[in-house]
Amino acid sequence: MRDLTTEASNPASAAIDSLPTIEMLQVINAADQEVAPAVARQLPNIAAAVDAIVARFEAAGRLFYLGAGTSGRLGVLDASECPPTFQTPPELVQGLIAGGDHALRHAIERAEDDPEQGKQDLIARGFSPRDALVGIAASGRTPYVLGGIDYARGLRALTIGLSCTPRSELAEKSEIPITPVPGPEIVTGSTRMRAGTATKLVLNMISTGVMIRLGYVFGNLMVNVQPTNSKLADRARRIVSTVAEVSYEQASSLLDRAGSVRLAILMHKCKLSKSEAEIRLAAAHGSLRRALEIL
């Protein structure tokens, strides 16, 4: 453990407990500014992961995140954000955490130490060779995650290893390694900080990049948004108003008739009935841009 980057002592914070509050926060902020460049150095591998996941989705596969502690919580968070943001079915992107959902709020001691449980949690979700697995472990050595990766490799599923330690075991076991290395934590070993931030940035890129490639974003607008509350309903109306070039009130009427942002836009811009718009959108595999380009 002492040789892991995530366990190393950061000289910049060696006396952080003796600093005035503003200087303490400046040290933390300066360290945080090193996270994004660490992620930037991994962009080619992140891009490879996005394209490989898209290929799995197009072959009826799914995406799973597997992690323990902070890593597991970040995976569950990213997965849970996909349905409301992109209107994906909840089973398309799934997050698994060592110790189960109870571990989202409570530390489950030793849950991360069981490689067999990583395998069993995937089996319980019906993980298959068509699927993709992102194993998440800041240290790159969490047994729960490695057990899941070994199982996925045995099935010849896509394996992606996200860790924050150079030449980690997780990276070596994974088909696509993603290894941002932001360096030692300000509080030694507290990987919820810099490693956690790097992990969150990468997961944001993976899920958002995949959804953009699948056509769930038009321009920079989330045209698959579900108007499930007042904020999202207002956003949906504004998106329809912008893309269809109609008033807010007309957009509201279009949404009421269409039932979705994409159909509302198609119906107006292509002068289609709802059933005709549904057929065209299906022919474009759900991509609004491709549907608008169909002659």
Tell whether the torsion through CA atoms of 153, 211, 74 and 139 is positive or negative.
positive
Told to judge if 276 belongs to the known catalytic residues of this protein, a careful annotator would answer no
List where CATH 1.10.8.1080 sits in the chain.
230-293
DSSP result, 225-288: ----SHHHHHHHHHHHHHHHT--HHHHHHHHHHHSSHHHHHHHHHTT--HHHHHHHHHHTTT-H
Residues in the chain: 295
Superfamily covering domain 5-213: Glucose-6-phosphate isomerase like protein; domain 1 (3.40.50.10490)
pLDDT at res. 98: 94
pLDDT value, residue 294: 84
- Written as one string, the DSSP assignment of 92-132 is TEEEEETT-GGGGTS--TTGGG-HHHHHHHHHHTT--TT-E
Threshold 0.85, pTM exceeds: yes
Contact 252, 235 (CB under 8 A): no
Instruction: Say how far apart CA 104 and CA 77 lie, in whole Å.
Output: 10
Q: Among the options 7, 34, 58, 112, which is catalytic? A: 112
Please return the burial class of 144, using the count of CB atoms within 10 Å of its CB with bins 0-12, 13-18 and 19+: buried
Q: How far apart are CA 217 and CA 225, in angstroms?
A: 9
CA 97, distance to chain mean position in Å, is 14
| 101 Cβ contact list (under 8 Å, min separation 6) | none
Pull the structure tokens for residue 19: 């600093």
Q: Tens digit of pLDDT for each residue in 2-41?
A: 667 777 788 888 898 999 999 999 999 999 999 999 999 9
The percent of the chain in helix, strand and coil, each rounded to the nearest 5, is 55, 10, 35
pLDDT of residue 9: 82
Low-confidence ranges of the chain (pLDDT < 70): 1-3, 295
Active-site choice (7, 34, 81, 276):
81
Alpha carbon 77 to its chain centroid, in Å, reads 8
CB 236 within 8 A of CB 212: no
Domain boundaries for CATH 3.40.50.10490 within the chain: 5-213
Out of 1.10.8.1080, 1.20.1560.10, 3.40.50.2300, 3.30.565.10, select the CATH number for domain 230-293.
1.10.8.1080
Q: Which pLDDT value is given to residue 1? A: 60
Residue 295: what pLDDT?
67
Active site residue 249: no
- For 45-91, the pLDDT digits (tens) are 999 999 999 999 999 999 999 999 999 999 999 999 999 888 899 99
What pLDDT is stored for residue 110 in this prediction? 79
Reading the block at residue 62, the tokens are: 């799914």
For residue 13, what pLDDT is reported?
A: 87
